[in-house]
Structure 1
């Protein structure tokens, strides 16, 4: 980190796996913007001290937020967009010099981009997990009019709380229960990520036209995506949402539109990293 250039960063625990710096710094280089983007390890116990220190740094533009802080960071931010009530999780925090920290969520928009691009028209979905990412994705799907939603969660009460908060009359199923014949399965959890247990689900009950979307991107080729392709299902990998949400955050931090015409080059860099 330098005290000469403005910077943004991503925080989380763990954080070593994050590819966000590669994405943002690639775009900064493409556009010739003199700024930087870092990754910083912040524990749950260190969140308060982190924000206290960053608010005093005039070069800090804000941060992206990843596991496990997307809910906890709401205690440190202002919320002019009503993200607390509408989604219940934040993944992007912008710093206004001398002013408040503004929290928002770019996960929802980033998640939707490939579905909208592919003109997805499904009516039912299953979300694996009930954490901060699931909140944004549930909000995104309901904005598309998807009303038949199941939450697959280890803690059924947490899954039901997610549905209740969103006002969705869905259902909660256990991790070993059979999947419904849904049009979309989304892994919103960390299962399958490097260092985490694999996500092993029987996909045989999904609709033959279903899409399987895994937001894990390290590794990019997860056990879930391999199983989906073996069944002949359409798949979307974690880079889709990662790049989509990053582009929205990039505009917030650096006041510039990400050069999405360079996506193929960016994906090549990410896969090689």
Structure 2
């Protein structure tokens, strides 16, 4: 029996580095960590069936990734009002009173942003994608002090719903949903990709290179691969990059703290991961 049993539910997770992160975290404390990749389609089950099966086993916790974060939020108790507003959870802790939902995408994005940009404000942000990670990043942008947030999604109703939720949470911040990423990017100082485009199994980019003109910084939620077309385009234009790897790293560190209550040597963890994630 392992000392700690964790797992990840999602699609296209064969290259996820989450198992390595949590096993490396366990080694810092002499813990044997079992970390399972759980792909509902491969198991012939729905998300809800996989989640229920995990709850019936000795899992301590789960990470949740695309496209199940919003469904996960409907399956657990959420105590944090901000996570309830986000409406998505990527971290679940199994407790005696039932499973609880947390969102370390929210805290992880803020940590990733501050590591790269320090105390600088986000400015005028155009974002593509308003799914689970997009919702977390949207609320994080409010906390970081964004002057304006413009949202685009292939489902306009979802973009409008998130725009309304963000505007309600921060009446002093201008928030809108727009008909195209090109319209969102006009005059923006930052571009964010929270769509799956660019990740393994979803080639391409949601944000054309032409949108990068005049932009100060970008963020791509995708980290497999580390270099997406969007980030290559940004690097070629000399734009500051907040990478999806930084979000991956910090959401994992924060999830570990929820699962165990144990601190981590972050520099050591980065070194342990560096060779295998590249």
Please, what TM-score do these two structures have when normalized by structure 2? Answer: 0.88
- For the pair 1:262 / 2:268, whether they are aligned, the reply is yes
Q: Which of the pair is proportionally richer in helix?
A: 2
Task: Select the residue among 243, 248, 252 that pairs with 1:237.
Answer: 243
**How has the CA–CA distance of structure 1 residues 136 and 178 changed in structure 2, closer, same or farther, with 3 Å as cutoff?**
closer
Instruction: Structure 1: give runs of 5+ residues left out of the alignment.
Output: none
User: Partner of 1:35 in structure 2?
Assistant: 33
| Alignment length (residue pairs) | 268
**How far has the Cα of 1:195 moved from its partner?**
1.4
User: Partner of 1:154 in structure 2?
Assistant: 154
**How far has the Cα of 1:145 moved from its partner?**
2.0
Once the two structures are overlaid, the 10-residue window that deviates more, 167-176 or 74-83, is: 167-176
User: Partner of 1:187 in structure 2?
Assistant: 193
1:93–1:103 contact (8 Å) kept in structure 2: yes
Instruction: Structure 2: give runs of 5+ residues left out of the alignment.
Output: 168-173
1:11–1:42 contact (8 Å) kept in structure 2: yes
User: Partner of 1:163 in structure 2?
Assistant: 163
- For the pair 1:250 / 2:256, whether they are aligned, the reply is yes
User: Partner of 2:89 in structure 1?
Assistant: 90
Root mean square deviation, CA, Å: 2.1
User: Partner of 1:73 in structure 2?
Assistant: 72
Q: Residue deviations 1:11-38, cap 9 Å, x none?
A: 1123212110011111111321233222
2:152–2:184 contact (8 Å) kept in structure 1: no
Task: Select the residue among 220, 232, 246 that pairs with 1:226.
Answer: 232
Distance 1:192 1:122 in 2: 23
**How has the CA–CA distance of structure 1 residues 205 and 42 changed in structure 2, closer, same or farther, with 3 Å as cutoff?**
closer
2:10–2:40 contact (8 Å) kept in structure 1: yes
Distance 1:197 1:15 in 2: 15
1:181–1:205 contact (8 Å) kept in structure 2: no
Residue correspondence of structure 1 range 191-206 to structure 2 within 5 A: 191-199=197-205, 201-206=207-212
2:64–2:90 contact (8 Å) kept in structure 1: yes
Distance 2:92 2:23 in 1: 18
User: Partner of 1:113 in structure 2?
Assistant: 111
User: Partner of 1:10 in structure 2?
Assistant: 8
**How far has the Cα of 1:107 moved from its partner?**
0.2
Distance 1:151 1:56 in 2: 39
Residue correspondence of structure 1 range 116-131 to structure 2 within 5 A: 116-117=114-115, 118-119=117-118, 120-131=120-131
Please, what TM-score do these two structures have when normalized by structure 1? Answer: 0.90
